[in-house]
Amino acid sequence: MTDPAVFVPHFHWDREWYEPFQVFRHRLVTALDTVLETAESDPDFRFTVDGQMAAVEDYLEMRPENRDRVAALVREGRLAVGPWLILLDEFLCSGETIVRNLRMGWAAAERLGGAMPIGYLPDMFGHIAQMPQILARAGIEHAALWRGVPGSVDGHAFHWRAPDGSEVRTEFLFDGYDNGLDVLLVPDRIRQALAEYAQMTAERWGGDPVLAMSGTDHNAPDPRLAEWLRQASTEERPITVATLDEYIRKHVRDEATAVVTGELRSHVRGNILPGVLSVRLGLKQRMAVAERTVDHAERMNALWSGRDDSGFLDLAWHKIIESTAHDSVVGSGTDETCDQVAARLAEAAQTARAVRDAALAEPAARVPSDGYLAANPLPSPRTALVEVDVVAAPEGSALVATTADGSAHPVQLVAQAPTVLSDERLDASQLERVLRRIHRRELFGLLIDRYELTPNALVFHLAEVPDGPFDLMTLRGEAAAAAAAHPGEWRVRTLAQPRATALVALPVPATGLAAFRVGPGEGPAAPAPRPVTATADTLANGLVEVAVAADGTLDVTGVDGTVLTGVGRLVDGGDRGDSYNYAPPAHDVLVSEPTRVAVELREDGPLRARLLVTRVYDWPEALVAEDRDRRAARTVPTPVETLVEVRAGEPFVRVSTAFLNRSADHRLRLHVPLPRPVTTSASAGQFAVTERGLTAEGGWGEHPIPTFPASTFVSAGPATVLLDHSAEYELVDGGRELAVTLLRAIGSISVNIHPLRDEPAASEIPAPGAQDLGMRIENRFAVLPWASGWQGADAVALAEEFRGDVLVTRGTAPSGGHLPPDTAGLRVDGRDVQVSSIRRVTDDPHGPGIELRLAALSDTARAVRVTGAFTAATTVDLLGRPLAAEPVRDGLDLVLGPWEIRTVVLR
């Protein structure tokens, strides 16, 4: 008998792409209507719903009356749903977001009858190193995917191994997720076409049946599919219709022998479209903000609030996860699609912010209103700079911050607020109109502390925290009487309490709270340990030094003496590519030298010092319209502002760049020259630090440009760059420089003729918004020099400090009272250990608890100690199912294996 064939009817559903979500959903409803009708009329029919529950949720929101029909088919095993909520881009979101995606998708599928236990990843643009561990720790033993598999895999399956050693058997869709469609083009020739395809690919299948994935984007299979296949089936080559799960579990006999470890980013069997890492910068930044805000909101809600806001947090996570779809956050959609993604991410951040602020409002109610409450989202104690608005000190005196224990902490003034908010002259008959501005006690965003009413003059004195009572009705009566008694011109002034913006160096416990006041001190302000010093072009704090060179680049010296010179060199070049792939014009013009450089000292310490470096560049306006292989001769002078900042106690230099983009069709990169050439780089993201070389594996229809993703930091030799959001980087000039992309501006979703890609990635649809013309382009990062690289520099912890600012809110208790003492939350001690999540959980048998997720970012085991207010601990899998009770003795001691992800619930 000839080897059999298994056809898997399915579709691939991009939730939004070249059309916005609601347009695609209209098509989705029609397609799934057809699927249900086909399945109910033909018992041989099976259907796999693309591995993502979003398609099912979106359908049932429009067809709620069909929920029981869907559930019946799921229970019968004829409709495979889940396990994901959405098919995501794995590199443009956090590892925690990937876990939540899986958990939410699995739970939604279970409510319908059960999730497909296959890590189906058909169209992602490459795959992260830790995906096998994520799947395995959710109890999933199999994966199926297409893009990114290296050329060493010559069969239809392989063992995919994560850095920790976890493995999943992986079905390699080597001809894509639509390989069965060509066989079905002519229904009367299916038998012959199948025989030809089986012969062409025989070396791939071994003794296993041919897998024919029978579906494509945004279309249901023909209702006659099962009948066609019954007619084409013979005893010599029997044909079966199955779900993907049934194919893997019932029909595969040969065991895969190839083993692949780590991330999958090879171009050898399919395009991985790496340009999506850098297009539409704003979406990447919004994703980072939303993820960070919901993470902090969960921590504050779990530790400091008596209110369970899980519903709001779930909503925020759902919107984030929807936005991770591989045609959403990547920015490869139309302008209206990307606008909707940006709005959804903003809404997620807003929802989470409301939960975060409400949680902090509870402990803030115990802090006097002339004080502040600082909350540390990180599980380690730290002395952090917090910025607050305070009453300015009288002339000749200094401000000091004090905490509940009476200790004083250093303060730096950075700005003085205006005190005269208005000064008006008006007729007495208009005086009542001025009073209409007052809402109870509020005026111009502040509160009326007192007022002075004299003949022909009214003065309001405003404060954030007023001292005495105020009666608006009394003022109205007095003002009316005064206006009648003193007609003519009146002068009305509104004066704010003298206020200033102050920086405070404040110790805050691990995931804990610290209350403080800022006021005049009797003596000089407490000195800063290792104070920051500055000159007209240098900054230093005893750990790191930075000097501005004549060309505006930076020379940075680290705590171990490592020197990086020329940091921040900007190189701008043309880009004739599209949202999927960068492409330089054949006759490119690179601009790397500024025409003017200016340096301004903004702050001179002792807690923070800043220099503003302004470099003006003449960038070509666009590509030539008639010849896109040339940049235009006309240039646009573009000032680029680089804010260089050194803070007390930090061993890195913070750098922010900003400019108004007035050029189209270009790519701008920031370069960090290295003291000597390197052959490898490493970047952190999604529970791993992944090492890469100078090249990428090619072989398909896409030129393998070695641009790679980084999430929290990227390191090359002695240079580590801490990142605020997901970014694209490359080692250039033979490993002599690290280049990080700041902007890639293009004007089309895809171009039909691309010099570095054989086939179009989509239709050639204009996307003028992806040029970011007229937009202020801002990037924030930090440069960390250390001779022994990211591990010696403790980059895992420093990256969290860089991204995780302390949260500050004003107290709301009556002013003048005692400050509450510092309070610690959960503390986690362990080098190279990332804390991915701290959140409130509840289950019926065990009640409320706090779920803590840890990841060892190291190739050696790491000891971890967790302390806090808990007496029991249970290790759970990534779906929250209990695995083992852990002994607790004045804390929890764990040993994480190399690159291990561990989740524990504390009670």
* Predicted local distance difference test score (pLDDT) of residue 526: 55
- The owner of tokens 């790491």 is 862
Nearest-angstrom CA–CA distance, 611 and 633: 33
pLDDT band at 464 (very low <50, low <70, confident <90, very high): confident
Q: Which pLDDT tens digit goes with each residue over 105-128?
A: 999 999 999 999 999 999 999 999
Reported as half-sphere exposure (CB side, CA atoms, 13 A), residue 767 has a value of: 33
Peptide bond into 606 cis (omega under 30): yes
Is the pLDDT at 529 greater than 70? The verdict is no
* Predicted local distance difference test score (pLDDT) of residue 394: 82
* Predicted local distance difference test score (pLDDT) of residue 327: 94
Reduced to 3 states (helix: H, G, I; strand: E, B; else coil), residue 33 is helix
HEC per residue, 295-314: HHHHHHHHHHCCCCCHHHHH
Is the pLDDT at 895 greater than 70? The verdict is yes
Nearest-angstrom CA–CA distance, 37 and 61: 18
* Predicted local distance difference test score (pLDDT) of residue 417: 85
Concatenated DSSP letters of 248-260: IIII--SPP--EE
Is the pLDDT at 846 greater than 90? The verdict is no
Which token pair is 811? 């107290």
Reduced to 3 states (helix: H, G, I; strand: E, B; else coil), residue 101 is helix
Is the pLDDT at 366 greater than 70? The verdict is yes
Of 395-399, 493-497, 704-708, least confident by mean pLDDT is 395-399
Closest by Cα among 633, 618, 634 to 587: 633
Q: What average pLDDT does the chain have?
A: 96
Rounded average pLDDT over 181-204: 94
**Are 540 and 292 a contacting pair, CB within 8 Å?**
no
**Are 831 and 862 a contacting pair, CB within 8 Å?**
yes
Reduced to 3 states (helix: H, G, I; strand: E, B; else coil), residue 717 is coil
What global pTM score does this model have? 0.95
Pairing assessment for the beta strands 79-80 and 47-48 based on DSSP bridges: parallel
**Are 595 and 616 a contacting pair, CB within 8 Å?**
yes
Of 803-807, 825-829, 843-847, least confident by mean pLDDT is 843-847
Reduced to 3 states (helix: H, G, I; strand: E, B; else coil), residue 603 is strand
Q: List the strands of the sheet with 737-745, edge to edge.
A: 569-574, 666-673, 737-745, 727-732, 708-710
Reduced to 3 states (helix: H, G, I; strand: E, B; else coil), residue 157 is strand
Is the pLDDT at 2 greater than 70? The verdict is no
Q: Which pLDDT tens digit goes with each residue over 779-798?
A: 999 999 999 999 999 999 99
**Are 818 and 842 a contacting pair, CB within 8 Å?**
no
E strand map for 694-771: 708-710, 713-716, 719-723, 727-732, 737-745
Nearest-angstrom CA–CA distance, 514 and 375: 7
Rounded average pLDDT over 129-135: 98
Rounded average pLDDT over 75-80: 97
Q: Where are the alpha helices (DSSP H) in 310-445?
A: 310-323, 335-364, 431-435
Q: Which pLDDT tens digit goes with each residue over 628-681?
A: 999 999 999 999 999 999 999 999 999 999 999 999 999 999 999 999 999 999
Q: What percentage of the chain exceeds 70 in pLDDT?
A: 99
Is the pLDDT at 398 greater than 90? The verdict is no
* Predicted local distance difference test score (pLDDT) of residue 528: 61
Of 123-127, 415-419, 520-524, least confident by mean pLDDT is 520-524
Is the pLDDT at 525 greater than 70? The verdict is no
Is the pLDDT at 524 greater than 70? The verdict is no
Is the pLDDT at 584 greater than 80? The verdict is yes
**Are 619 and 572 a contacting pair, CB within 8 Å?**
yes
* Predicted local distance difference test score (pLDDT) of residue 391: 87
Nearest-angstrom CA–CA distance, 167 and 133: 7
Is the pLDDT at 523 greater than 70? The verdict is no
DSSP designation for 266: B
pLDDT band at 252 (very low <50, low <70, confident <90, very high): confident
Phi, psi (degrees; rounded to nearest 5) at 168: -130, 140
Taking phi over 0 as left and psi of -120 to 50 as alpha, with beta for the rest, 50 belongs to left
Helix (H) or strand (E) run with residue 383 in it: strand 382-391
**Are 102 and 134 a contacting pair, CB within 8 Å?**
yes
**Are 95 and 686 a contacting pair, CB within 8 Å?**
yes
Reduced to 3 states (helix: H, G, I; strand: E, B; else coil), residue 772 is coil
* Predicted local distance difference test score (pLDDT) of residue 845: 75
**Are 840 and 302 a contacting pair, CB within 8 Å?**
yes
Q: Which pLDDT tens digit goes with each residue over 618-627?
A: 999 999 999 9
